[in-house]
Amino acid sequence: GQNIDQPTEMTATEGAIVQINCTYQTSGFNGLFWYQQHAGEAPTFLSYNVLDGLEEKGRFSSFLSRSKGYSYLLLKELQMKDSASYLCAAGYKAAGNKLTFGGGTRVLVKP
Amino acid sequence: DGGITQSPKYLFRKEGQNVTLSCEQNLNHDAMYWYRQDPGQGLRLIYYSQIVNDFQKGDIAEGYSVSREKKESFPLTVTSAQKNPTAFYLCASSMRGDLSNQPQHFGDGTRLSIL
């Protein structure tokens, strides 16, 4: 299988930083996506990592280590609107553009 | 504006009925996907189509059927054989289906419930 593992839930305070970890199977791995999903809404694309290292986009950054099968999404200067689920999804070469999604991490931002 | 349109937003089904969920995209994307999401869970792939007139089963295809007669449209039928159809159904598309570096863009979803 191609299991994607991420924590179920995290809580953080407004203005703080939260790091959401994701692990995946490395065999045939091509790249990793992060999506944000507010309750009852469609997921929206946040980032894509294919090379090792950190990609920064404003308050959100995503990191990938291909050799370790590990990624994280870093949310800085948390705002109340960042309360959402964050989905990690891996693409595998043999699967075309079929993605394997993790179960999602629900982030609750408290005042 | 370009995007993916799913209809209806809410759908109710009686026991033993087939229902069809609509998904239309005007992004000129080759590939389209159907996912099912249960409360508090991630996305599970039902069917996908990398190009018009072709589609493949995903991880949970039993009790579902699709067609891809037009590039813009990828309707999903939930048949009476699907024993637990209550879920949030999401349609997505990507520019190409043969490369694993294309982000998928999602519609707003259809919430299906059993009466």
Average pLDDT of the segment spanning A82-100: 87
From chain A residues 22-51, the ones with a CB under 8 A of any chain B CB are 30-31, 33, 40-45, 48, 50
pLDDT of A73 > 90? The answer is: yes
CB A80 within 8 Å of CB A31:
no
CB A43 within 8 Å of CB A37:
yes
Rounded distance, CA B20 to CA B35, Å? 14
Beta strands A18-24 and A53-57: pairing type? unpaired
**Which residues from B are below 8 Å from A99, CB to CB?**
45, 100, 104
Q: Does B96 touch chain A (CB under 8 A)?
A: yes
Q: Does B40 touch chain A (CB under 8 A)?
A: yes
pLDDT of B87 > 70? The answer is: yes
Percent with pLDDT over 90 in chain B: 74
The nearest CA of chain B is from the CA of A98 a distance in Å of: 7
Q: Answer whether the bond into residue B8 is a cis peptide, omega within 30°.
A: yes
pLDDT at B1: 61
pLDDT of B39 > 90? The answer is: no
pLDDT of B40 > 60? The answer is: yes
DSSP B61-102: -TTEEE--SBTTB--EEE-TT-S---EEEEEEEES-SS-TTP
Among the residue ranges A65-74, A86-95, A100-109, B71-80, the one predicted with the least confidence is: A86-95
Count CB atoms within 10 A of the CB of residue A54. Answer: 11
Rounded distance, CA B45 to CA B21, Å? 15
Kindly indicate the confidence band of residue A1, based on its pLDDT and cuts at 50, 70 and 90. very low
B32, B35, B43, best to mutate vs chain A, most A CBs in 10 Å: B43
* pLDDT, chain A, mean: 93
pLDDT in tens, A21-43: 999 999 888 899 999 999 889 99
Rounded distance, CA A47 to CA A36, Å? 10
CB spacing of B100 vs A31 below 8 angstroms: yes
Percent with pLDDT over 70 in chain B: 98
CB spacing of A30 vs B104 below 8 angstroms: no
Q: Which residues contact B108 (CB under 8 A, 6 or more apart)?
A: A41, A42, B6, B9
Structure tokens at A102: 């993790």
* pLDDT, chain B, mean: 92
Kindly indicate the confidence band of residue B9, based on its pLDDT and cuts at 50, 70 and 90. very high
Q: Looking at chain A, how many residues does it have?
A: 111
Helix, strand, coil distribution of chain B in percent, nearest 5: 0, 50, 50
Rounded distance, CA B38 to CA A89, Å? 17
